[in-house]
Amino acid sequence: MPTDAGEIVQALRDAGLTDTAEPLLEPLTGGVSCDVWKLDTPTGSIVVKRPLAQLRVAAEWNAPVERGESEVRWLRRVREVEPAIVPEVLAELSVGHAFAMTFLPDCPVWKDELVAGRVDIDFAARVGSRIATVHAATANNIVDRDNFPNDAMFRALRVDPFLLHVADNDPALAPALRDLAEDLMSRKIALVHGDVSPKNILVNGDNPVFIDAECAVYSDPAFDLAFCITHLLLKSVWLDSEKLRQAAAAMVDAYRAVIDWEVPDELLQRAGRLAGALLLARVEGKSPAPYLVEEEHKDIIRTQARALILEPVPIDDLVTQWKRTFV
Ligand SMILES: Nc1ncnc2c1ncn2[C@@H]1O[C@H](COP(=O)(O)OP(=O)(O)O)[C@@H](O)[C@H]1O
Ligand SMILES: [Mg+2]
């Protein structure tokens, strides 16, 4: 049953987070899968987030609301690893799988910085090293593995729409993509965020803060690296920005330097293979990148991604070879 704002306010009062009769819930701009509000309280501003049962995307796309609990669990676990890179969870509310966390003031969304042309290569490197730190801290950890049994959710939100949807519509690529999906689902290596996109990273001075971990799963850490690199490379085409490609290269290098749980080259190989598929998914998949509207941009990405799916290369080479324009 959908919850309304009145129930959320009551739950906030029950949790002791507000004592105001009708607190102002200010909607934060954002994604397709949740209601996110900012609320001022006597002890500071907080964010309240409630997952939606039906995502606000063109294609029908349902997702279990329990993903709110995965996000809370991820935020709490990462807080133990590196407190500065996540907001603090303040309470899980009694309705709609909603929760409250600290609001980070004056922290722009990284995507907005990139789109405005402020591409900080050192910041990109820190994104890479921090994601890798979470992976390193949770790698081969049976407790983390048991705490994130979210394969069905990961399949519904990531594997089906990004990998298998394209496979169903493209017989030439289908064997490679199905093989990739199976390989991804079979690996249980570390705690994966699942949505490391620049719109889910806040810029807190020099440091990244990661939010929106609804897709968290114990899986292949290569997925997070591939997912974030994909976003930077897509934007390098859209904005014709060499600096964004350099930022991607710095992110891969910084990530690689932290890998201590497996042979680094093997992870980079898997990430390269995944990135090829994710690049194509943002042009052909169920969740196309909204800014890729020009056919020429889509062609540049499609041509390279198709070749990469059929003949994958490690993600560091992929980033080096990536072309923003047709030459
Ligand atoms: N703890 C926070 N501090 C400051 N801003 C936040 C915080 N959490 C979310 N936001 C803002 O709300 C937006 C949407 O939040 P997000 O968790 O990404 O939800 P969605 O699933 O809707 O994308 C973010 O892009 C960011 O601008
Ligand atoms: Mg988001």
> In order of start, what are the domains of the chain with their CATH numbers?
5-102 (3.30.200.20), 110-321 (3.90.1200.10)
Q: Whose CA is nearest to atom 24 of ligand 1?
A: 30
Q: Which residues make up the environment of ion ligand 2, defined by Cβ < 5 Å?
A: 31, 200, 212
Distance 281 CA to ligand 2 centre (A): 18
pLDDT computed for residue 61 by the predictor = 62
Tell me which ligand sits closest to the C-alpha of residue 56.
Answer: 1
Residue pair 214/223 in contact by the 8 Å Cβ criterion: no
Residue 83, φ and ψ in degrees, nearest 5: -55, -30
* Three-state secondary-structure class, residue 122: helix
Q: Is the pTM of this model over 0.85?
A: yes
158-176 pLDDT, tens digit each = 999 999 999 999 999 999 9
Binning the chain into helix, strand and coil, the percentages to the nearest 5 are 50, 15, 35
Winning range, highest mean pLDDT, from 25-29, 47-51, 56-60, 105-109: 105-109
Q: If you measure from the C-alpha of residue 126 to the centroid of ligand 1, how many angstroms do you get, rounded to a whole number? A: 20
